[in-house]
C-alpha cells in the first residue's frame, strides 16, 4: 500500500482514538439502562503532592509566617489523610522536609512516578503589605505553555507503559503526524481533567468550609506545564491577609484544607473509574 494511504489510515484511526480519550472520564451519575453505574478500566493509582517552595525559597510572607511552611504543613496532612482513607493510592511527595527543590525536579518526580494527578500546594499574596483579598484559588496551566506540556507528556511516556502501545496506537513513535495527534489528544484530556478536579476542590472550599473561593483560573505555571498529567495548583489563601494567615497557620485550618482536597480527590477518582 502506498505510504500516503498508510498515513491517511493512521490519521483516520487516531481521530477515532481522540474521540475515545474524551469518553474515559465517566461521571458517577451516568448510568446505563439497567441502572448500573458505567465502569471504566482506568485505575487511579498515584497522586503527586507538591509542597511549594522550601529551603532557601520561603515563598510569600505574611506578618509572621511564610508560604513554604504552610504549604508543607497542608501537604503532609493531605498525605496522611490519603494514606489513611485511600490506602490503594500511592502518594509521592516532591518534598517532605524544609528543603529547596527546583521546579523542573518537581515535575521530574511527578513524571518519573507516572502520576495520575499532580497537586501543588501554595499560598497566595496580594501586592499590598497588609492585603484585603481572602480565600483560595485553583490554577491550571495556560495554553501558552502548551508546547512545554506536550514535551512533558512525551517524557512521561503514559503511552509506553501500556504493553501493546505499538498496536493500540498504530504508528506512534514512528510517524510525526501520528505523534502530534496522540499528544494533543492526551493534552486536551488532561486539561479537561485538571479543570474538573479544580472545580471539585473549589466547591468543597466554598460549600463545605464556607470559604470565599476565587474559582479555577488559567496561569502559566511552569511546574504544571512540565508535569505530564492532570495538574492543579492550590492557592490555599492569602498569607498577607491577617485573617487568612491565622487560618493557614492553624492546625485546624490546615486540616480543613486537606480534608476538602481529599473529598474532592475521592470524587475525582470515582468519576474517572466510573464508580
DSSP readout, 170-182? TTTTT-HHHHHHH
In angstroms, the CA 251 to CA 30 distance is: 38
Residue 117 lies in a domain: yes
The C-alpha cell that represents 14 in the structure block: 487516531
CATH of the domain at 126: 3.40.630.40
Q: Is 237 helix (H, G, I), strand (E, B) or coil?
A: strand
Q: Structurally, how many domains does the chain consist of?
A: 1
For 113-238, strand residue ranges (E) read 117-124, 137-141, 216-219, 231-238
Residue 10 lies in a domain: no
Residue 39 lies in a domain: no
Query: How would you write the pLDDT of the chain (275 residues) with one tens digit per residue?
Result: 444 444 444 444 444 444 444 444 333 333 333 333 334 477 899 999 999 999 999 999 999 999 999 999 999 999 999 999 999 999 999 999 999 999 889 989 999 999 999 999 999 998 888 889 999 999 998 755 455 444 444 444 444 444 554 554 444 444 454 455 555 666 678 889 999 999 999 999 999 999 999 999 987 777 787 788 999 999 999 999 999 999 999 999 999 999 999 999 999 999 998 87
CA 63 to chain centre: 30
Residue 32 lies in a domain: no
Residue 1 lies in a domain: no
Residue 270: count of CB within 10 angstroms of its CB:
15
The reported pTM is: 0.75
State the residue range of the domain holding 268.
44-273
Q: Is 26 helix (H, G, I), strand (E, B) or coil?
A: coil
CA 205 to chain centre: 17
- Quick one: which of 111, 97, 101, 115 has its CA closest to 53? 101
Amino acid at each position: 500500500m502506498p505510504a500516503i494511504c498508510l498515513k491517511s489510515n493512521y490519521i483516520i484511526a487516531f481521530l477515532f482514538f481522540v474521540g475515545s480519550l474524551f469518553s474515559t472520564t465517566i461521571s458517577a451519575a451516568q448510568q446505563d439502562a439497567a441502572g448500573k453505574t458505567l465502569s471504566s478500566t482506568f485505575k487511579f493509582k498515584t497522586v503527586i503532592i507538591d509542597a511549594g517552595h522550601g529551603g532557601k525559597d520561603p515563598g510569600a510572607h505574611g506578618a509572621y509566617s511564610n508560604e513554604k511552611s504552610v504549604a508543607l504543613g497542608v501537604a503532609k496532612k493531605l498525605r496522611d489523610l490519603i494514606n489513611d482513607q485511600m490506602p490503594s493510592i500511592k502518594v509521592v511527595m516532591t518534598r517532605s522536609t524544609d528543603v529547596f527543590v527546583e521546579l523542573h525536579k518537581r515535575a521530574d518526580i511527578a513524571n518519573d512516578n507516572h502520576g495520575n494527578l499532580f497537586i501543588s500546594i501554595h499560598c497566595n499574596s496580594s501586592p499590598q503589605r497588609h492585603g484585603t483579598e481572602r480565600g483560595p484559588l485553583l490554577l491550571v496551566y495556560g495554553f501558552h505553555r502548551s508546547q512545554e506540556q506536550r514535551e512533558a507528556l512525551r517524557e512521561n511516556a503514559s503511552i509506553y507503559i501500556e504493553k501493546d502501545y505499538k498496536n493500540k496506537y498504530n504508528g506512534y513513535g514512528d510517524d510525526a503526524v501520528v505523534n502530534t495527534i496522540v499528544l494533543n489528544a492526551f493534552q486536551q484530556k488532561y486539561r479537561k481533567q485538571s479543570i474538573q478536579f479544580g472545580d471539585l476542590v473549589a466547591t468543597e472550599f466554598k460549600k463545605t468550609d464556607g470559604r470565599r473561593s476565587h474559582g479555577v483560573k488559567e496561569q502559566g505555571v511552569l511546574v504544571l506545564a512540565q508535569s505530564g498529567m492532570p495538574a492543579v495548583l492550590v492557592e490555599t489563601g492569602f498569607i498577607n491577609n491577617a485573617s487568612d494567615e491565622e487560618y493557614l497557620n492553624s492546625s485546624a485550618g490546615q486540616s480543613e484544607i486537606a480534608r476538602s482536597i481529599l473529598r474532592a480527590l475521592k470524587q475525582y477518582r470515582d468519576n474517572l473509574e466510573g464508580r
